[in-house]
Amino acid sequence: MNMKILFNKFSQIRMMKIFAVVFTALLLIQLHLFADNFDSDTLKNYKLDEIIIKSPKYNRNIFDIPAAATMIPERVLENNRIENLTDISNIIPNFFMPDYGSKLTSPVYIRGVGNRINTPSVGLYVDEIPYFEKAAFNFDFYDIERVEVLRGPQGTLYGRNAMGGLINVITNRPGRDKSTNISVDYGNFNQIRSNITHNQPVSNSLALMASINQRHNDGFYENQFTRTDIDRINSYSGRIKAFYTPSENFDALANIQYEDSRQGGYPYALFNDETMEAGSISYDKESIYNRKLLSAGLNLNYKTGEFSLRAVSSLQKLDDEQEIDQDFTPQSLFFVTQDQQLQMLAQELIAESTTGGVYNWLVGAFGFKQILDKSVGLEYGPDGLVKYKLPYSEYYYIKTYDNINTGIAFFHQSTINLGNFSLSAGIRADLEKATLDYNHDKFPDGNRNNAEMVKSDTLFFEILPKVALKYNISEYLVPYITVSKGYNPGGFNATFERVEDRSFDSEYSWNYEAGLKAKWLQQRVYANIAFFYIDWTNQQIYQTVPSGTGSMLTNAGKSESKGIELELTALPARNLETWMAFGYNEAKFIEYVKNENEDYSGNYLPYVPSFSFNAGGNYLVEIKSGWLDRIKLNLTYNGFGKHFWHESNEAFQKYYGLLNHRISFEKNNTTLSFWGKNILNTDYNSFYFQALGNSYAQIGKPATMGLNLKILF
């Protein structure tokens, strides 16, 4: 046997043994604590809540789902001050969403699967509305009931963009009780957040809920050249939901959400790849990112004793503008403007059995149309004209891209329950067409010169199978195995300078997962462990265009990602909840020869931490005095292992950890909380990229702290 293969096998076995020892040790510690703190009568009435995954097409107990899944309830979102998807990285193992510096391009990576630009490889649904464009991913969180993350391909049931996994954000639903919730938050750097949510029952069958949200900060970073704070934000958003239940068999949920966000930016500094240090932020022109985002959905549900029918209609519109000092230096080299308008329509129809029993089935159809119009302009400054020896007094160009993506899919899943065994098999037929209408105009000395016009289209078709087997040893111990195919369609690059770079191909993966879900001591301990291996071909890789003034996707040869995930939640004592989540991920290029001078085979994939770690606890102190009912203490620690920023593996971020806390004082329906994030002021870099022959980094956010007042009536 090849020594390299033998060594890899040995390393994998060694890692599995290490995690098995850690898992066993943690369990024994918890058992010891329980033995010291509880008698049998107490155990009967003190337990963790059941975890129900409400993602469409699942909607059942986490123990019935043969996949790694994490549910983050509202109280955890609040305790960790989760403001957007980026903050989820602190909680979910092997989930990483780097802080890009604006809401524009929000890359998400699950188990190493993700894309810096273009079509995302991780699916996002908000109240069952699909988000296909990454520019819409980073939105403000408020009035959120839960966030669910399913790791591993979900393409059989969800199709587009679900190669790495699925994120499902569920906001609170209108109810029968009239209520108003007011939250006001203030922190250093003049961070101000306020939210008002009102639930109004109109009749026995109709309830309405309206929320408005505001967010502001003065910025965490200073531009040394202009002596101004550069990453300020002003964001306003609102949501209206109507829930109609005229009978036990039928209900309808309509919602509309809008956000208007205006950001400064970008907090990028020149980075020295040799010393691994970022310099000061210093560039000559102010940069901004402004976005308007509208999403609307209508869910119709009809149930009988034997089956249910569901129709989900979705609409999304996005209108944004970006102005950015492309060189991020005091020199006046380049200035880029970008405007894009997005329109997306989607319709899904699903029929599903509801009888339970031996055989269960689900069948559905999904169709969508997405129109994206984009205009990119680049202007050379005086220093740029000199540096690149352009014989003009002024020079700029404008590129316009009109992209239309349409798709249709049919899917089916069957589940057979035989005693303690459950076998699920699913398949999806996915057809998608992409078109590009591209125009490139140059303006030397203000004179228009059409350089290129392109009209092109391409078609993608794929069959996505999935098979899963689980065995209920008992209701408290459930092992499972899953094999599934992952797929992300190809498309057209938004920026290209050569014909061969105009488009990129689809990427594929075969995913193998084995896991165990367990609970002990009458539901006082939850534990989930999963091992995964991803065999990945034609991976879509982020690259800069040859001139260095933009980015594009190309395809690598072959990659693999493997690792382990462990989640443990326990109640070791009355009023004390503890948890630990750990993810290990080794993602490498197996074959990737970029050109005759660059061979990255064997290198680690960028933007994939080698491991992630989250641990913490909540403790409740009962007071029962005239002025105070209880105190809640929350402390969490988040660690991120070494991760590389570029496929060359020359630049990287070493391990760093963030400590956060929240202390809440409660009286009746009023809560006053004091919170802190990165309270030890850890230094780290949150993002990195290369352009124009330089390397740039964004420094991680400094220590922040503040207070929150919440009133419910």
Rounded Cα distance between 107 and 98, Å, is: 7
Alpha carbon separation from 341 to 16, 126, 683 (Å, rounded):
48, 20, 37
- Tens digit of pLDDT for each residue in 351-409? 999 988 899 999 999 999 999 999 999 999 999 999 989 999 999 999 998 999 999 99
Nearest Cα neighbor of 315 from 141, 161, 128 is 128
What's the whole-number average pLDDT of the chain? Answer: 88
Rounded Cα distance between 512 and 458, Å, is: 30
Assign 106 a pLDDT band (cuts: 50, 70, 90).
Answer: confident
Residue 549 is predicted with a pLDDT of 66
User: What percent of the chain clears pLDDT 70, i.e. is strictly above it?
Assistant: 93
- Tens digit of pLDDT for each residue in 269-286? 999 888 888 889 999 999
- Tens digit of pLDDT for each residue in 433-457? 999 898 989 999 989 988 788 888 8
Residue 492 is predicted with a pLDDT of 84
The token pair that represents 463 in the structure block: 């069959």
Nearest Cα neighbor of 137 from 637, 688, 147, 145 is 147
CB 441 within 8 A of CB 449: yes
CB 270 within 8 A of CB 696: yes
Residues 6+ apart with CB under 8 A from 571: 46, 47, 48, 524, 525, 577, 578
Residue 484 is predicted with a pLDDT of 95
Assign 44 a pLDDT band (cuts: 50, 70, 90).
Answer: very low
CB 301 within 8 A of CB 251: yes
Nearest Cα neighbor of 153 from 542, 555, 468 is 468
Alpha carbon separation from 561 to 261, 374, 532, 603, 688 (Å, rounded):
36, 34, 8, 12, 22
Rounded Cα distance between 128 and 106, Å, is: 20
Beta-bridged to residue 188, according to DSSP, are none
The whole-number average pLDDT for the span 678-705 is 91
- Tens digit of pLDDT for each residue in 229-256? 999 999 999 999 999 999 999 999 999 9
Residue 43 has pLDDT above 80, yes or no: no
Angle at the Cα of 684 (from 683 to 690), degrees rounded to 5?
Answer: 140
| Amino acid at position 105, single letter | T
Rounded to a whole number, what is the largest CA-CA distance in the chain?
87
* Distance linking the first and last C-alpha atoms of the chain: 70
Rounded Cα distance between 238 and 212, Å, is: 4
The token pair that represents 601 in the structure block: 């085979």
Indicate the helix (H) or strand (E) that contains 33.
helix 3-37
- Tens digit of pLDDT for each residue in 76-100? 999 999 999 999 988 999 999 988 7
**Exposure class string for 137-165: b at 16+ Cβ within 10 A, else e:** bbbbbbbbebbbbbbbbbbbbbbbbbbbb
Q: Would you list the DSSP string of 369-418?
A: EEEEEEEEEEEE-HHHHHHTT--SS-EEEEEEEEEEEEEEEEEEEEEEEE
Residue 46 is predicted with a pLDDT of 61
| Sign of the alpha-carbon torsion through 162, 163, 166, 167 | negative
Rounded Cα distance between 379 and 589, Å, is: 37
Rounded Cα distance between 337 and 326, Å, is: 9
Count of alpha carbons within 13 angstroms of residue 338, beta-carbon side: 22
Residue 14 is predicted with a pLDDT of 45
Nearest Cα neighbor of 80 from 238, 72, 640 is 72
Q: Which residue has the higher pLDDT, 522 or 11?
A: 522
Residue 260 is predicted with a pLDDT of 97
Rounded Cα distance between 394 and 448, Å, is: 12
Nearest Cα neighbor of 102 from 686, 694, 706, 713 is 686
Rg, C-alpha atoms of the chain: 26
Residues 6+ apart with CB under 8 A from 405: 132, 368, 369, 370, 372, 432, 433, 434, 435, 491
Q: Taking the mean position of all CA atoms in its chain, how far away is CA 89?
A: 8
Residue 103 is predicted with a pLDDT of 86
The whole-number average pLDDT for the span 260-264 is 94
Residue 18 has pLDDT above 50, yes or no: no
Residue 520 is predicted with a pLDDT of 84
CB 503 within 8 A of CB 491: yes
The token pair that represents 365 in the structure block: 């159809």
Residues 6+ apart with CB under 8 A from 9: none
- Tens digit of pLDDT for each residue in 614-667? 999 999 999 878 889 999 999 999 999 999 998 899 899 999 999 999 999 999
Alpha carbon separation from 518 to 37, 145, 479, 582 (Å, rounded):
22, 25, 8, 16
CB neighbourhood size of 511 (10 A): 24
Rounded Cα distance between 701 and 656, Å, is: 13
Phi, psi of 26 (to 5 degrees): -60, -40
Rounded Cα distance between 43 and 522, Å, is: 7
Assign 15 a pLDDT band (cuts: 50, 70, 90).
Answer: very low
| Three-state secondary structure call for residue 7 | helix
Residue 160 is predicted with a pLDDT of 79
Tell whether omega for the bond before 142 is within 30 degrees of 0, i.e. cis. no
The whole-number average pLDDT for the span 678-698 is 90
Nearest Cα neighbor of 616 from 575, 584, 577 is 577
Assign 713 a pLDDT band (cuts: 50, 70, 90).
Answer: very high
| Sign of the alpha-carbon torsion through 89, 92, 94, 95 | negative
Rounded Cα distance between 462 and 490, Å, is: 12
- Tens digit of pLDDT for each residue in 214-225? 999 999 999 999
The whole-number average pLDDT for the span 494-515 is 86
Q: What is the DSSP letter of 189?
A: T
| Amino acid at position 456, single letter | S
Residue 470 is predicted with a pLDDT of 95
Phi, psi of 468 (to 5 degrees): -140, 140
Residue 21 has pLDDT above 50, yes or no: no
- Tens digit of pLDDT for each residue in 136-181? 999 999 999 999 999 999 989 988 788 999 999 999 999 999 999 9
Residue 22 has pLDDT above 70, yes or no: no
Residues 6+ apart with CB under 8 A from 297: 127, 128, 129, 253, 254, 255, 312, 313, 314, 315
Residue 105 has pLDDT above 80, yes or no: no
Q: Which residue has the higher pLDDT, 3 or 343?
A: 343
Angle at the Cα of 180 (from 175 to 185), degrees rounded to 5?
Answer: 125
CB 342 within 8 A of CB 316: yes
User: Count of residues for the chain?
Assistant: 713
Which residues in 548-629 belong to E strands, given as ranges? 551-555, 558-573, 576-591, 593-595, 598-599, 611-622
| Three-state secondary structure call for residue 565 | strand
Q: What is the DSSP letter of 284?
A: S
Nearest Cα neighbor of 211 from 256, 243, 245 is 256
Indicate the helix (H) or strand (E) that contains 22.
helix 3-37
